[in-house]
Amino acid sequence: MTKASELHILLTNDDGHLAPGIRIMQEVLKRRGYRVSMVAPSKQRSATGMTTTMHRGLQLEQFAEGNWHLDAKPADTVLVALRHLLEDDPPDLVLSGINFGPNLGVGLHASGTVGAAITALLHGYPAIAVSAGMLFDEARQTPPVFPSTHKVLEPAAEFTCAVIESLQSPASRSDELLPAGILLNINYPALAREQIKGVVYPEVSGGHMIEPGYRLCEQTAKLIPQYHAGVDPNQPQLQEGDVRAHLEGYITISPVKPRWNPPATETADLLKRLGTAFSEF
Question: What is the domain-level CATH number for residue 42?
Answer: 3.40.1210.10
For residues 136 and 189, what is the distance between their CA atoms, to the nearest angstrom?
A: 12
Number of compact structural domains in the chain? 1
Cα–Cα dist 210/226, whole Å:
10
Per-residue pLDDT, averaged over 219-244, amounts to 93
Q: What's the confidence (pLDDT) of residue 95?
A: 98
Assess whether pLDDT exceeds 70 at residue 174.
Answer: no
- pTM listed for this prediction: 0.94
Question: Which of the residue ranges 75-89, 171-185, 196-210 would you say has the lowest mean pLDDT?
Answer: 171-185
Task: Write out pLDDT tens, residues 36-55.
Answer: 999 999 999 999 999 999 99
Q: How far apart are CA 126 and CA 93, in angstroms?
A: 5
Least confident of 19-23, 156-160, 251-255, 258-262: 258-262
* Whether residue 231 has pLDDT greater than 70: yes
For the chain, give the DSSP string: ---GGG-EEEEE-SS-TT-HHHHHHHHHHHHTT-EEEEEEESS--TT-TT----SS---EEEEETTEEEESS-HHHHHHHIIIIITTTS--SEEEEEEEES---GGGGGT-HHHHHHHHHHHTT--EEEEEE---HHHHTSSS---HHHHHHHHHHHHHHHHHHHHHT-TT-S-SSSS-TT-EEEEEE-SS-GGG--EEE-PPPPSS-SEEEEEEE-TTT-PEEEEEEESS-TT-GGGS-HHHHHHHTTEEEEEEE---S---HHHHHHHHHHHTTHHHH-
pLDDT band with cut points at 50, 70 and 90 for residue 279:
confident
Residue 275 — pLDDT band, cuts 50, 70, 90?
A: confident
Q: What count of other Cβ atoms lies within 10 Å of the Cβ of residue 220?
A: 8
Sheet with 127-132, strands from edge to edge, namely 60-64, 67-70, 35-41, 8-12, 93-100, 127-132, 183-188, 250-256, 198-200
> Between these two residues, 228 and 43, which has the higher pLDDT value?
43
**Predicted confidence (pLDDT) at residue 161 exceeds the cutoff of 80:** yes
* Residue-wise pLDDT tens digits, 183-208: 999 999 999 999 999 999 999 999 98
* Model pLDDT, residue 173: 60
Count other Cβ atoms within 10 Å, centred on residue 185: 26
Is 185:254 a contact under the CB 8 Å cutoff? yes
Closest CA to 184 of 117, 115, 251: 117
Q: Is residue 76 predicted with pLDDT exceeding 80?
A: yes
pLDDT at 2 > cutoff 90: no
Q: Sorting pLDDT into bands at 50, 70 and 90, what band is 175? A: confident
Report pLDDT for 147: 98
60-65, long-range: CB < 8 A, 24+ apart: 63/17
Which domain range does residue 267 map to? 4-280
Percent with pLDDT over 70 in the chain: 96
> Tens digits of per-residue pLDDT, 100-140?
999 999 999 999 999 999 999 999 999 999 999 999 999 98
Closest CA to 252 of 241, 242, 265, 240: 242
Give the model's pLDDT for residue 170.
72
User: Given a cut of 70, is residue 31 above it in pLDDT?
Assistant: yes
What is the average pLDDT value for the chain, to the nearest integer? 94
Give the whole-angstrom CA distance, residue 213 versus residue 188: 26
Percent of the chain at pLDDT above 90? 84
